[in-house]
Chain A
Amino acid sequence: MSSINVPIYMDYSATTPVDERVAARMAECLTRQGHFGNPASRSHPFGWHADELVEQARDQVANLIGANSKEIVWTSGATESDNLAIKGAAHFNVKKGKHIVTLKTEHKAVLDTCRQLEREGFEVTYLDPLSNGLLDMEAFKAALRDDTTVVSIMHVNNEIGVIQDIAAIGEVCRERGIVFHVDAAQSPGKVAIDVNAMKVDLMSLCAHKVYGPKGVGALFVRRKPRVRIEAQMHGGGHERGMRSGTLPTHQIVGMGEAFRIAQEEMDSENKRMKMLRDRLWNGIADMEEIYLNGDLEQRIPGNLNVSFNFVEGESLIMSMKDIAVSSGSACTSASLEPSYVLRAIGRNDELAHSSIRFTIGRFTTEEEVDFTIEKTRQAVEKLRELSPLWDMHKEGIDLDSVVWAAH
């Protein structure tokens, strides 16, 4: 395996490297030889050229999700889009009601935005997902009230990769006249998106999970039927007043190019991802006491989230030092808490503490997958040798029956 360069990147859901084709387009928009102008400058060709590029990128992003380019608002990323969508729609519709419905496994950018709205006097229902990570449609319908104004449900979960049935949720929201926001940070290039067929009103997007640059994203804001939001960022009235601030041409061009490539290559790329993901799963699935987290079918091809019982996730990551993986989302990897997503799908604390998220991407090779299988098996075996819980399990002791001294 001499062809392998370590560490191997298996954390594509945290972020992706920028595709070389994207980087080349971005580089054309920076220096004085390139299109450095302010897209908002109407008085000279520098501005006109930059504006043309921004509008081309807007088309590219709109195309991937089946939207009109006039429905795309540039932002700094999915977190900002989530904030703008949820706060913007909740505030705009405050006279209609102050109730919001979301899911416990949403990204923190949605959950924490909802918490903020609660502090402002809104009421939020956080739904429990089913044990496979999917939304319980009956519980969802039952949670909707006459004063519900916004529903926010993610398309693809960042930790366990499960895909929600957005069209079914959209149908219910449209019928009841509720604004439907979808955090789709993880789905472009992995799952087909059609905002009209799915009846989505607001959709958060970002570039850096799709081989584009960090620091740029977009919010889809439906025009027919028109969805209105209150701006969160005030200033020069850019983006039809919904998000002020000078547009970063290079970032936007990068996002456009990344979305163009993602749309063109999605089918072939997904086949390859699925092949590699299945190879990885088949390489470890025979190990004792391992649990796949989240539904295997309703899941993006590049994600594998596994709990290795009786070993602790952080030490497992430490002993797999040649492989870049995470125990949950990148945003929470600095905390000692077990994954709230795994807790929400009903995993106990032990299994939530023992999880590894492998995410495969455009540049992953078969050799890297094989190397990962070998290293994972070695690391788990080593740590189980060290684990008193593994000993107890082997002795047939039910760990749930033990009274632990909590600390």
Chain B
Amino acid sequence: MAYSDKVLDHYENPRNVGVLDKDDPNVGTGMVGAPACGDVMRLQIQVSEDGIIEDAKFKTYGCGSAIASSSLVTEMVKGKTLEEVGEIRNKHIADELALPPVKIHCSVLAEDAIAAAIADIKAKRSKKEDAKALAS
């Protein structure tokens, strides 16, 4: 199977590989996929108090397109607000990487990873709000 230059570039030089502390209240973690399906993505975002993504890290088990999709996503989300990032759709990722039809599911998984990471940080923050409300 021939990969696009962009997939190869992200695959050869993946951006933002790593781990953030999942227990940090400012870190949202999204893990999607399943080993049995051949893809697992873990996307982590570090979000400032005013909702801006300051850092993003990923680790992915999967094919070259899955690795490239998650690497690209870490670049796309940095510096954006949670609302802006929530607008990213798998089509943006697939188009940017010129994914072939059999690999579209990789971009879908990347979109799911973003949603899961956002949901995680929002859940953490609403718990914090609840705790504050209880304390006051």
- A residues whose Cβ falls under 8 Å from a Cβ of B: 310-312, 314-315, 318-319, 334, 336, 338, 348-350, 353, 385-391, 399, 404-407
- B residues whose Cβ falls under 8 Å from a Cβ of A: 1, 3, 11, 14, 17, 19, 31-42, 59-64, 66-67, 102, 105, 108-109, 112
> What CA separation (Å) do A386 and B70 show in the bound complex?
11
Contact of A312 among B1, B31, B62, B102 (CB under 8 A): B62
B41 / chain A contacts, CB cutoff of 8 Å: 388
Q: Which of A388, A405, A406 has the most CB of B within 10 A?
A: A388
B61 / chain A contacts, CB cutoff of 8 Å: 310-312, 386-390
Contact between A405 and B59, CB atoms less than 8 A apart: no
**Given A310-B61, A407-B105, residue A389 in contact with residue B67 (CB < 8 A):** no
Contact of B40 among A315, A334, A385, A389 (CB under 8 A): A389
> What CA separation (Å) do A319 and B66 show in the bound complex?
14
Contact between B60 and A388, CB atoms less than 8 A apart: yes
A-B contact count (CB 8 A): 81
> What CA separation (Å) do A389 and B31 show in the bound complex?
11
> What CA separation (Å) do A350 and B3 show in the bound complex?
24
Name 10 interchain pairs, CB-CB below 8 A, sorted by A. A312-B39, A334-B1, A338-B38, A348-B36, A386-B61, A388-B41, A390-B61, A405-B32, A407-B33, A407-B105
Task: Kindly provide the distance from the CB of B103 to the nearest chain A CB, expressed in whole angstroms.
Answer: 9
B19 / chain A contacts, CB cutoff of 8 Å: 391
**Given A349-B35, A407-B109, residue A388 in contact with residue B59 (CB < 8 A):** yes
Given contact pairs A312-B63, A314-B64, A315-B62, a sample of 19 additional A-B residue pairs in the complex whose CB atoms are under 8 Å apart: A310-B61, A312-B38, A314-B38, A314-B63, A315-B11, A318-B3, A318-B11, A318-B63, A349-B37, A350-B35, A386-B61, A387-B61, A388-B61, A391-B59, A405-B34, A405-B112, A406-B34, A407-B109, A407-B112
Q: Which of A314, A318, A348 has the most CB of B within 10 A?
A: A318
**Given A349-B35, A399-B35, A404-B34, residue A315 in contact with residue B63 (CB < 8 A):** yes
Contact between A406 and B37, CB atoms less than 8 A apart: yes
> What CA separation (Å) do A43 and B18 show in the bound complex?
77
Q: Is the interface of B mostly helix, strand, loop or mixed?
A: mixed
Q: Enumerate the 10 nearest inter-chain pairs by beta-carbon distance, A residue then B residue, closest first.
A: A404-B34, A349-B36, A388-B42, A388-B59, A314-B63, A350-B35, A318-B64, A387-B61, A353-B38, A389-B61
A315 / chain B contacts, CB cutoff of 8 Å: 11, 62-64, 66-67
B36 / chain A contacts, CB cutoff of 8 Å: 348-350, 353, 404, 406
A406 (CB) vs chain B CBs: closest residue: B34
Contact of A387 among B31, B34, B38, B60 (CB under 8 A): B60
Task: Kindly provide the distance from the CB of A349 to the nearest chain B CB, expressed in whole angstroms.
Answer: 4
B7 (CB) vs chain A CBs: closest residue: A318
B38 (CB) vs chain A CBs: closest residue: A353
B8 (CB) vs chain A CBs: closest residue: A318
Task: Kindly provide the distance from the CB of A73 to the nearest chain B CB, expressed in whole angstroms.
Answer: 37
B60 / chain A contacts, CB cutoff of 8 Å: 386-388
